[in-house]
A = this chain, B = another copy of it.
Amino acid sequence: MRPLKIAIIGFGKIAADQHVPAIAGNARFDLVATVSRSSSGAHLGQSFTSHTDLLEAVTDLDAVAITTPPGVRYEIARPCIERGLHVLLEKPPSVTLSDIHDLACLADAEERTLFATWHARHNPAVEAAAKALAGKRIADMQVVWHEDVRKWHPGQQWIWEPGGFGVFDPGINALSIVTKIFPGPLFVKAAALSYPDDAQTPVAAEIGFASPVADGAMHCSLDWRRPDGEEWTITIRTADGLTVRLEDGGGRLLIDGVEQAAEGIGEYPDVYRAFVQLIDERRSLVDVTPLRLVADCLLIGTRQNVGPTPR
């Protein structure tokens, strides 16, 4: 079987750090081109400054990984699918639910694979947590995703703009893990959203969830104003007394305080393993649940202004 010829569109930090080595480590893919306005991936095969040029020049391409900021992904993904390419999207797949719904319909119609990835779900500890919780009734849940926006997004203005997601940009990783491991549906029942005076997206969100399989309180705290005590944890207690806790953003699993061994090939290598499997099975995988929960927070949330953006 000849390898699938793949191109990376949008060559930023995540492409260089994660997508390039994951593709290089997968014998089923051959990275033949990159697209970047700054030509930053130029050493990796053919180099283009627009996806239009790529689609014109590389006629035997099989797939693309779109790793641009979310706001432009739809306009890029649509012609790629129409051209008959399999498409992998970084998270979040789009900035609106209508955009990703349309891409999913188009991929079905064109019989191509569309893979809306949530990389945090591909951590082996997350898979192990899902197994530990499967079929259980839930007592309560606490999600804490606290970090310092100045450290992780220095000088980045797009996160504060419409469609920039704000604290939901990292927070959607937490939601993607929770919706993977939680043994039932989750509903947003209340959300308190804190907006900087000079921003269109929130810097913090306190979310209350409900579920038909849960009895007690379920809370999620997303906060970008925490230079001290950064924390990325999900703690779920089951009705039969188990405490399942993910730490380090899904990197470590503790059950009743005891760390569990969880080995795997790593997040992004597993993303590409799953992409190959979907292509082989002629299927798409487009789970919009994490993005829908963000939309639900905005549909029923209360808003308060909280001073200037952290700088």
Residues of A in contact with B (beta carbons under 8 Å apart): 74, 78, 95-99, 101-102, 162-163, 185-188, 190-191, 195, 200, 212, 289, 292-296, 298-303
3 closest A-B pairs (Cβ-Cβ)? A295-B295, A96-B296, A298-B298
Residue on B nearest A74 in the bound complex, by CB: B187
Residues in B neighbouring A188, C-beta threshold 8 A: 96, 98
Give complex CA distance A50, B130 in Å: 38
State A302–B298 Cα separation when bound (angstroms): 13
A102 touches B300 (CB 8 A): no
Closest chain-B Cβ to A241's Cβ sits at a distance in Å of: 27
Q: Complex: how many Å from CA A96 to CA B98?
A: 15
- Interchain CA distance A300-B94 in the complex, whole Å: 11
Q: Is the CB of B295 within 8 A of A299?
A: yes
Specify which of B78, B99, B212, B300 is in contact with A95 (CB 8 Å cutoff): B300
Check B296–A98 contact: CB distance below 8 A: yes
A162 lies within 8 A of B190 (CB): yes
Contacts A98-B188, A102-B187, A187-B99 hold; do A299 and B298 have CB atoms under 8 A apart?
yes
Output the nearest chain B residue to A161 by Cβ-Cβ distance: B302
Given A98-B186, A187-B102: A295 and B293 interface contact (C-beta under 8 Å): no
Given contacts A96-B187, A98-B293, list 8 more A-B pairs with CB under 8 A.
A74-B187, A96-B299, A96-B300, A97-B292, A98-B185, A98-B188, A162-B190, A163-B300
**Interface core residue of A78, A98, A185, A191 (most chain B CB under 10 Å):** A98
Shortest C-beta distance, A310 to chain B (Å), equals 19
Q: Give chain B nearest CB distance to A294 CB in angstroms.
A: 7
A97/B296 in contact, CB under 8 A: yes
Contacting residues, chain B, for A191 (C-beta < 8 A): 162
Write out the residue numbers on chain B whose beta carbons fall within 8 Å of the beta carbon of A200: 301-303
Residues in B neighbouring A293, C-beta threshold 8 A: 98
Inside 8 A of A299's CB, which chain B residues have their CB?
A: 95-97, 163, 294-295, 298
**Chain B neighbourhood of A95, CB < 8 A:** 299-300
Q: Kindly report which residue of chain B lies nearest to residue A293, judged by CB atoms.
A: B98
Distance, CA A296 to CA B188, complexed state (A) = 17
The closest CB in chain B to the CB of A163 belongs to B300
When C-beta atoms are compared, the residue in chain B nearest to A101 turns out to be B292
- Of the candidates B102, B163, B186, B295, the one whose C-beta lies within 8 Å of that of A97 is B295
What are 15 A-B contacts defined by CB distance under 8 Å? A96-B299, A96-B300, A97-B292, A98-B187, A98-B293, A162-B300, A163-B300, A195-B303, A294-B299, A295-B295, A295-B296, A295-B298, A298-B298, A298-B299, A303-B303
